Amino acid sequence: MKAGEIVGFLGPNGSGKTTTIRMICGLLSPDAGEGTVLGLDVRTESVRIKRQIGYMTQRFSFYEDLTIEENLAFVARLHDLRPRRDAVRRTLDSLGLTSRKDQLAGTLSGGWKQRLALAACIMHQPRLLLLDEPTAGVDPKARREFWDEIHRLSGEGLTVLVSTHYMDEAERCHRINYIAYGHMLASGTVEQVVDSSGLITFVVRGLEADQIGRLAACDGVEQIAPFGVNLHVVGSDRRKLEAALAPVAATPGVAVVHGQTSLEDVFIQFMTRSRQTVAHQQPGNRPQRP
């Protein structure tokens, strides 16, 4: 990761995203392997790493019976920031929390709790910010404001690693990494990951419900997803996919046009293939030795 870069960390539930982040933080010790964070060894220099990172967990983890200002003052003590009052004031101002500083954390909406958590993570001015599904459960406006803040911090040189299940959030990242069951499957910009997937997408309009099931069973059709009145039909073999769609395209009232493969299409493909790989590797599915 480069300084000031925002990197998305994607993968299905149980793929190892949170475990990886916790190993980076020094909260978990790796069983094997090697790694460095900010040029420091994950195994032997975790204390030094902790001083230079901020970690925002999936769940709000601050004292709900304390005010915003009191929570930040507590965090300032943990980091031994001095002068403490200046550090708290500076953080309140930078995140737009000054007007609410005396409000109890437990009375905040999801978006404001999220902002308080972010403030606490960056008040010691870390070099790396780790966000583990930070916008789960907040409304679209709060999510957008959160990402505006992340990009502002990125512009100031803060490096960010964010795990997310939201494809629109992944598309806001400079680069994305996709893992499944502890293995890296793809890395690059959104455009690079989509292009390298090899998926072809067609948009179908006007298809009757009974025809959808038949189309889904055709060779070459790997995904069908409704988007309003349209269907996105996806496959990796153009010849087979076009052959499956030919009878549909000849149906009166049905339109078939080329579409744009989305990151969600690629995400589903990765999930399907990784599950098939894991299922194949189960002991009961392995071929018997003679």
In tens, the pLDDT along 162-180 reads 998 888 899 999 999 998 8
pLDDT of the residue at 90: 96
Q: What is the CA radius of gyration of the chain?
A: 23
How many other C-beta atoms can be found within 10 angstroms of the C-beta atom of residue 22? 16
With beta carbons less than 8 A apart as the criterion, state whether 66 and 104 touch: yes
Delimit the domains of the chain by residue range. 6-192, 198-284
pLDDT of the residue at 289: 43
Domain covering 6-192, topology: Rossmann fold (3.40.50)
At 58-100, the pLDDT tens digits run: 888 899 999 999 999 999 999 999 999 999 999 999 999 999 9
Q: List the one residue out of 62, 99, 97, 57 whose CA is nearest residue 78.
A: 62
CA angle 268, 270, 271 (to 5 degrees): 65
| Two structure tokens written together for 160 | 């960010």
Report the C-alpha gap between 116 and 91 in whole angstroms: 10
DSSP tag of 104: B
pTM reported for the whole predicted model: 0.85
pLDDT of the residue at 284: 55
* Cis peptide bond N-terminal to 83, omega within 30: yes
Domain covering 198-284, topology: Alpha-Beta Plaits (3.30.70)
Q: What is the pLDDT along the chain (290 residues), one digit of tens a residue?
A: 889 999 999 988 888 889 999 999 989 988 888 899 999 999 999 999 999 999 998 888 899 999 999 999 999 999 999 999 999 999 999 999 999 999 999 999 989 999 999 999 999 999 999 999 998 878 889 899 999 999 999 999 999 999 988 888 999 999 999 988 778 889 999 999 999 999 999 999 998 888 888 899 999 999 999 888 899 999 999 999 999 999 999 999 999 999 999 999 998 888 877 665 555 555 555 544 43
CA angle 97, 103, 105 (to 5 degrees): 90
Give Cβ neighbours of residue 261 (< 8 Å, ≥ 6 apart): 194, 197, 199, 200, 201, 234
Report the C-alpha gap between 46 and 253 in whole angstroms: 63
